[in-house]
């Protein structure tokens, strides 16, 4: 099996090593290309470029496979608790019951945020988008825990920062929602588990009047697991690049939150519901919107469709679509937008424009329908994505830092003006 590739250029032949992963993926290692040949490669959007080796998540876009540390997303969704999946992603092994209990207890001890953070919340108008509040408050954690800024801190110190972030993000997320609603803030209840505590802080109008619905808690647990990590997606790559400058975990994750906010990435779940609502308001004419999505002169895209890696189906979308039916039925909710979504999928998957471009529903296509059924408002959907993705971002940052990777600094091809004189 070839362990190298040859590049022929201007009469010379350059031999480049080929790296093979544990799942048989192969990559040409070009780390010495410029030194050997003076050449760099160009790949706008990194569609063909690997930025790192990683042992955290494996995707097979052709077969619709998603595994975290070797465990399939289907099995994790069926059997696991989100906090245990977080532990698996960050520390590499699924926790034993004892380790799981200790980990959850440590998290519980850090769910409170410093009371002075309320002053920062109070500074935001109720019109502030929760994602902007979230990224700002995560960055502000560096002010309350300045030791997190030290890149030479011990592994124990890094773990404390990790625990604090996992513990406090649900509180910050729930408070960003309460701030938007103008409601009083709810404090964490330590006798509740991670998911239940978040639901309590989100929806309890007074501290003891909110009953945790087990169907809602189970759906939330599954949704958080489904979003937990996704190898080198836009926001994870952002966290890695920011962290590679030796910026703190809080600063790196705040950058990841902002990358996720974009509607082509995590912001798509909000854009999907807004799209479905627009189609519903426009009489539910699915064919009209399929035509708009295909029209190159029309900026409309079918949000929640397409993926850089998955070219047959997104396994997460399949799981969420099934959960949609279960949760809505269990809660006795009929949501017209679910019918519109299913019709859109049905029509699109028979249309050559989508089939030829291998465009299928992705994780964002159905998730908003469940979030809404749970009572999550639309502009909190991407915050929910961030809550789920947090352990993935932490795991990617930790792997990059432990490997002592070089600062991420891509090259470019300059196409601007050649040297010229300033005649003034």
Q: For the window 361-380, what string marks contact with ligand SDX as x by the rule CB under 6 A?
A: -xxx----------------
Q: How many C-beta atoms surround the C-beta of residue 2 within 10 A?
A: 8
Q: Helix, strand or coil for residue 189? A: coil
Catalytic residue check, 129: no
Q: Which residue in the list 68, 84, 307, 379 is annotated as catalytic?
A: 307
Least distance in angstroms from the C-beta of 232 to ligand SDX: 8
Q: Verify binding: residue 230, ligand SDX, rule CB under 6 A.
A: yes
Q: Helix, strand or coil for residue 8? A: strand
6-35: contacts with ligand SDX (CB under 6 A): none
User: Contacting ligand SDX (CB under 6 A), which of 162, 172, 255, 359?
Assistant: 359
Q: Across the chain, how many H-helices and E-strands are there?
A: 18, 6
Residue nearest to ligand SDX (CB): 306
Q: For 414, list phi and psi in degrees, rounded to 5.
A: -75, 130
Q: Verify binding: residue 391, ligand SDX, rule CB under 6 A.
A: no
Spatial separation of the C-alpha atoms in residues 29 and 37, rounded to whole Å? 14
**In contact, 315 and 366? CB cutoff 8 Å:** no
Q: For the window 44-73, what string marks contact with ligand SDX as x by the rule CB under 6 A?
A: -x----------------------------
Q: Which residues contact 318 (CB under 8 A, 6 or more apart)?
A: 64
Give the tokens for residue 21: 């992963």
Q: For the window 238-277, what string marks contact with ligand SDX as x by the rule CB under 6 A?
A: --------------------------xxx-x---------
Least distance in angstroms from the C-beta of 328 to ligand SDX: 22
**DSSP letters for 334-396:** --HHHHHHHHHHHHHTTSHHHHHTT--B-HHHHHHHHHHHHT--GGGHHHHHHHHHHHHHHHH
Residue with tokens 């501290």: 207
Q: Which is nearer to ligand SDX, 106 or 294 (CB)?
A: 294
Directed axis angle between helix 249-261 and helix 155-181, to 10°? 40
Least distance in angstroms from the C-beta of 299 to ligand SDX: 10
Least distance in angstroms from the C-beta of 264 to ligand SDX: 4
* The one segment of 74-82, 242-250, 359-367, 413-421 that binds ligand SDX by CB under 6 A: 359-367
Catalytic residue check, 307: yes
Q: Which is nearer to ligand SDX, 135 or 362 (CB)?
A: 362
Residue with tokens 């929602």: 177
Burial zone of 62 (CB within 10 Å; 0-12 exposed, 13-18 middle, 19+ buried) = exposed
* The one segment of 10-18, 122-130, 197-205, 307-315 that binds ligand SDX by CB under 6 A: 307-315
Q: Helix, strand or coil for residue 294? A: helix
Q: For 8, list phi and psi in degrees, rounded to 5.
A: -100, 125
Q: Which is nearer to ligand SDX, 45 or 155 (CB)?
A: 45
Q: Verify binding: residue 301, ligand SDX, rule CB under 6 A.
A: yes
* The one segment of 13-21, 154-162, 190-198, 358-366 that binds ligand SDX by CB under 6 A: 358-366
Q: Which is nearer to ligand SDX, 108 or 233 (CB)?
A: 233
Spatial separation of the C-alpha atoms in residues 324 and 311, rounded to whole Å? 23
Applying CB under 6 A, the residues found at the interface with ligand SDX are 45, 230, 233, 264-266, 268, 293, 301-309, 357, 359, 362-364
Q: Which residues are catalytic?
A: 307, 364
């Amino acid at each position: 099996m070839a362990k190298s590739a040859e590049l022929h250029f201007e009469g010379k032949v350059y031999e480049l090593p080929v790296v093979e992963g544990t799942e048989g993926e192969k990559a040409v290692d070009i780390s010495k290309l410029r030194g050997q040949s003076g050449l760099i490669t160009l790949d706008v959007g990194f569609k063909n470029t690997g930025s790192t080796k990683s042992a955290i998540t494996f995707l097979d876009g052709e077969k619709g496979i998603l595994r975290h540390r070797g465990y399939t997303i289907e099995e994790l969704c069926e059997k696991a608790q989100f906090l245990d999946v977080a532990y698996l992603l960050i520390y590499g092994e699924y926790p034993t019951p004892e380790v799981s209990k200790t980990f959850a207890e440590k998290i519980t001890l850090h769910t409170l945020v410093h009371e002075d953070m309320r002053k920062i919340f109070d500074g935001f108008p109720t019109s502030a988008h929760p994602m902007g509040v979230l990224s700002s408050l995560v960055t502000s954690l560096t002010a309350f825990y300045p030791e997190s800024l030290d890149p030479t801190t011990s592994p124990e110190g890094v773990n404390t920062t990790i625990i604090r972030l996992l513990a406090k993000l649900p509180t910050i997320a729930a408070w960003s929602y309460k701030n938007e609603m103008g409601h009083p803030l709810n404090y964490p209840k330590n006798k509740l588990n991670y998911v239940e505590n978040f639901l309590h802080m989100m929806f309890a109008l007074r501290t003891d009047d909110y009953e945790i619905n087990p169907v809602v808690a189970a759906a939330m647990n599954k949704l958080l697991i489904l979003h937990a990590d996704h190898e080198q997606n836009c926001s994870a790559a952002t966290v890695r690049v920011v962290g590679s400058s030796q910026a703190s975990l809080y600063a790196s994750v705040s950058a990841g939150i902002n990358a996720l906010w974009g509607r082509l990435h995590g912001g798509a779940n909000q854009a999907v519901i807004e799209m479905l609502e627009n189609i519903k308001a426009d009489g539910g004419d699915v064919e009209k919107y399929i035509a708009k999505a295909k029209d190159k002169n029309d900026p409309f895209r079918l949000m929640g469709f397409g993926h850089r890696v998955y070219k047959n189906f997104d396994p997460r979308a399949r799981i969420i679509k099934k959960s949609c039916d279960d949760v809505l039925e269990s809660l006795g909710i009929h949501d017209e937008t679910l019918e519109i979504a299913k019709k859109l999928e049905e029509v699109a998957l028979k249309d050559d424009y989508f089939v030829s471009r291998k465009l299928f529903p992705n994780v964002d296509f159905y998730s908003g329908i469940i979030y809404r059924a749970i009572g999550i408002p639309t502009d909190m959907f991407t915050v929910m994505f961030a809550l789920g993705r947090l352990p993935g971002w932490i795991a990617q940052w930790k792997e990059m830092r432990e490997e002592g990777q070089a600062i991420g600094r891509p090259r470019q091809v300059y196409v601007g003006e050649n040297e010229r004189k300033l005649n003034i």
